[in-house]
Amino acid sequence: MLYDPRVGVAVEPPNEPGAPGHDQLQAIGSGEGRPPMPELAAASWLDAEAHRHGARLETVGLTMNGGHKELVLWNVPTMLIEPGVRLLKELGTYVLAGGELTDGDVMQMRADLPCLIGVHDPDPTGDDPVRIVFLA
């Protein structure tokens, strides 16, 4: 897949001071104050309601080059940052080529597997980025 070079992706890793989940990550890594495994296992990683832990990925360039709001992925495990960046670049390329992503859209991203994403824009008239939500 060729990506439009105007689409960049900014990554906020969870080890950045002030990032959501930073304190939990520090406790897990140090062993001091580490939550018990049942509590860690109950934490939802695919939560799209808020950025709670993991990395935050956001496109850079859609607003400037195409007038579309930027796209964001929340709560991305660090081992999935690279595929998340590819996903956002693919969607950004689609948008800059004239495709539309609007609130409520569902897209299948692969032909061979059920790989569905949803598009959620909680504030269509605002500047907040459009959230990409993993569905399957």
In-domain check, residue 125: yes
In-domain check, residue 1: no
In sequence order, the 6+-apart residues with CB closer than 8 A to the CB of 71 are 58, 59, 62, 88, 91, 92, 95, 101, 129, 130, 131, 132
In-domain check, residue 2: no
pLDDT along the chain (136 residues), means of 10: 92 89 78 76 72 91 92 92 95 95 90 84 91 88
What are the tens digits of pLDDT across the range 18-57? 888 888 777 777 777 777 778 777 777 666 678 888 899 9
Q: What is the DSSP letter of 1?
A: -
> Hey, what are 26's tokens?
């520090």
In-domain check, residue 92: yes
DSSP alpha helix (H) spans, the chain: 22-30, 37-42, 62-66, 81-96
Beta strands at 130-134 and 116-120: parallel, antiparallel or unpaired: antiparallel
pLDDT confidence of residue 111: 77
In-domain check, residue 3: no
For 99, the domain range is: 8-134
The domain total for the chain is 1
pLDDT confidence of residue 112: 75
- Full-model pTM: 0.86
